[in-house]
Amino acid sequence: MNLPTQRRADMPELRARAAAIKKHVLANLDHYLVETEKQVVAHGGQVLFAQNIDEIVAFIQLLAQERGVASFVGARATGVRNEASALRRVVEALSSDVGAYLSGHLATLIDAASFDLDRLFAAGIGITGANFVIADAGAVCLAEGDDFASLAGAAPKTHIVVAGIEKIIPRTRDLAVFLRLLSARYPGHSSLLSGPRRAGELDGPEAFYLVLLDGGRSAILADAEKRELLRCIHYGACPESCPATPVGQPGALTPLLKPPLIAAPDVYTSALSDACREACPVNINFPRARVALRQDALGQANGWVPLFFRVWAFVMVRPRLYEMVALMARAFWPVAWKCAHPPAKSLRQLWRERSR
């Protein structure tokens, strides 16, 4: 079942509010981290802070040893319902990192094709991501197109939720804003999970762990120009809107949304159009972040790149020299590059001939 994207009349209002909430959380993140920890513990769960993926894996392995667990089950926290939306949601960074890491070693990722009940019940530990972590409830929200993540959380005896520290929202009530936004694109299954099973409940995990991952996010938070990137709720509109993205590709924005931010070659693929910013439900200023990342890339670059730009700057401010270089380039244009050959006469030549 697939719905066409529903158009809600209240979208502008929802977007403005979602952006405001995310901005508020990021500006007071330490408070909400402590609040989340307090509430998760109050609901019978435990919280672990991790600097990087390695720490999480070490923790999970230790826990598995302690509990004598041999098999894991994991689910991506994406809104995948079919292949197309799966591609759209490749921007889901964190949970797929963990999922992929573990799948190589110990775990099996649940997906629609390889849904296996025996495996699910044999697993002692279920690992999922989370779309939102709710500070005042000590709960996590999985907003999915399907319910595999809910299964991975409900069936095994231990449920570990791995979430980036930026996934926090202040109140349960704020879900009404975020779930409405997400449901406009991905209707489906969303669950609000907190703590282990309560007295009398027959299922649900016996132990509940929330792992809050930094993974370079506090460094992004410190950078005013890139901080907005942490607002991302994985809505998935930005790669779709990007004119530089070939159809069916994950999108030129993917590296921007995957902390730790590294200035990869991909930061040059976008034309700095404003399309992604207009499509973004939480109003992230992508062009500004991208320019900042390009500057970073230049600062990190060594050897010939800064030298090239220095020479380039030297040539650009000297018209005679520039014309000579351009003449040489036209004369010795390497066919091997397979680029279109430049025209025989430059604009400056044509201009002079015409004004004569």
Query: Could you tell me which stretch among 137-145, 260-268, 300-308, 344-352 binds another protein (CB under 8 A)?
Result: 137-145
Q: How far apart are CA 267 and CA 76, in angstroms?
A: 26
Contact with another protein (CB under 8 A): which of 139, 207, 263, 292?
A: 139
Cβ 129 to another protein shortest distance, Å: 16
The tokens for 68 are: 């004598």
84 binds another protein (CB under 8 A): no
Is residue 187 a contact point for another protein (CB under 8 A)?
Answer: yes
DSSP reduced 3-state for 329 = helix
Count of residues in contact with another protein, rule CB under 8 A = 77
Q: Is 283 in the site for another protein (CB under 8 A)?
A: no
Angle at 62 between CA 58 and CA 67, to 5 degrees: 150
Q: How far is the CB of 86 from another protein (least distance, A)?
A: 15
**Residue 119 binds another protein, judged by CB under 8 A:** no
| H-type alpha helices, the chain | 11-27, 29-42, 53-67, 83-88, 94-105, 117-122, 148-154, 175-183, 217-222, 237-241, 275-279, 286-300, 304-316, 319-331, 347-355
Give the Cα separation of 283 and 20 in Å (integer): 9
Indicate the residue type of 92: E
Q: Does 225 bind another protein (CB under 8 A)?
A: no
Q: Which of 222, 317, 339, 340 is in the footprint of another protein by CB under 8 A?
A: 222
Query: Of 123 and 275, which CB lies nearer to another protein in the complex structure?
Result: 123
Query: Which positions ≥6 away from 163 have C-beta within 8 Å?
Result: 94, 129, 130, 133, 140, 210, 211, 212, 213
Return the range that interacts with another protein (CB under 8 A); candidates 90-98, 102-110, 175-183, 293-301: 175-183
Pairing state between β 107-109 and 207-213? unpaired
- Both tokens assigned to 165: 């520290």
Q: Is 269 in the site for another protein (CB under 8 A)?
A: no
Of 306-325, binders to another protein (CB under 8 A) are none
Rounded-to-integer distance, Cα 60 and Cα 253, Å: 31
Among 41, 106, 204, 287, binds another protein (CB under 8 A): 204
Under the criterion CB under 8 A, does residue 121 sit at the interface with another protein?
Answer: yes
The DSSP output letter for 168 is: E
Which one among 58, 112, 316, 327 touches another protein, defined by CB under 8 A?
112
Q: Interacting stretch for another protein, rule CB under 8 A, among 21-29, 91-99, 289-297, 303-311? A: 21-29
Q: Which stretch binds another protein (CB under 8 A): 97-105, 201-209, 248-256, 319-327?
A: 201-209
Segment 51-70, which members bind another protein (CB under 8 A)? 51, 55
Nearest approach in angstroms of CB 118 to another protein is: 9
Pairing of strands 139-144, 189-193: antiparallel
